[in-house]
Structure 1
Amino acid sequence: PFLRFRPAVVSKVIHQVLVEHLQNQTYDPEKASKVTADITETIKNKLKELELSRYKYIVNVTLGENRGEAARVGCRCMWDADTDNVAQDIFTNDSLFCVAVAFGVYYY
């Protein structure tokens, strides 16, 4: 059976990963690159566990220091609206913010 990329399910996966990795963390610019790489890889691996055949994943994680200022993260895609989709979650604490976005692109 054809299982679709469902944003609600994927958002929960992303949220769980962000909480696991960041809940008790403070922002450290020396570690930010490794932390984002670890989160990205974990999300990608968790998405593979969903076994959505023929989907390829693109995962983008943005991590920054929470100084009470605004930040905007945006993207644009050209895709098949019938099969492709996107999910995201945002994590913040007193020290940091993290935006994680996962794209599910169906491979024909």
Structure 2
Amino acid sequence: MASTSGLRSPPPPRSDAASPRPKFDSELLKAYMKKLLSSTLQNNSWPDQKERERVKEWIHEIGARVKERMVEIQPRGFKYIVFTQINENLGQGGRADLSLHWEDTDVVAQEMYSNDTLICICIAFAIA
């Protein structure tokens, strides 16, 4: 509902009661993602035009392995979404921020890796 100033009213406070849903360990996933991005990309550079399929392969591999790890951490009770993006590093700035506000048990984990020639952002959602 809008207030007289045109801004929305704050949402009602959430209950302090513990949720019966399982909690996803996002810190465990973040540590895995950090190691995975580094080990997958550290010895690679942005490919020439003829080899651009390699970028698609890296994206697919990272996304699949993150999802597999998410299922290992919490095999039931969540839907998983993994977004991976790799761009050429031309010295540009960049930032990616996400938050979610559905249930107390939902989490988002984000990691970024960069070297002299490429930038990778991987974002994973676990939604109860």
In structure 2, how many angstroms separate the alpha carbons of the residues matched to 1:13 and 1:2? 23
How far residue 4 of structure 1 moved from its aligned partner, in angstroms, is 1.2
Equivalent AA in structure 1 for residue 55 of structure 2 = A
Q: What residue ranges of structure 2 are gaps of 5+ in the alignment?
A: 1-19
2:38 — aligned with what? Answer: 19
- Would you identify which runs of 4 or more consecutive aligned residues in structure 1 move more than 4 Å? 74-78
With a CA cutoff of 8 Å and minimum separation of 6, indicate the structure with the bigger relative contact order.
Answer: 1
Cα drift, residue 67 of structure 1: 1.0
RMSD over aligned Cα, in angstroms? 2.1
Asked whether the 8 Å contact 1:84–1:105 carries over to 2, the reply is yes
Instruction: Give the deviation of 1:77 after TM superposition.
Output: 4.6
Structure 1 length as normaliser, TM-score? 0.84
Conservation of the 8 A alpha-carbon contact between 1:4 and 1:52: no
Number of aligned residue pairs: 105
Q: Which has the higher strand share?
A: 1
**8 A contact 2:29–2:109 mirrored in 1:** yes
Q: Name the CA distance, whole Å, in 2 between partners of 1:71 and 1:5.
A: 28
Letter in 2 for 1:12: A
Q: Is the 2:46–2:88 contact (alpha carbons within 8 Å) kept by the matching residues of 1? A: yes
Normalising by the residue count of structure 2, what TM-score does the alignment of the two structures yield?
0.72
Provide structure 1 residue ranges, at least 5 long, that are not aligned to the other structure: none
Displacement, 1:51?
2.9
Matched, 1:48 2:71: yes
Instruction: Look up the SS of the partner of 1:48 in the other structure.
Output: helix
Amino acid corresponding to residue 64 of structure 2 in structure 1: E
Judge which range, 49-58 or 19-28, deviates more: 49-58
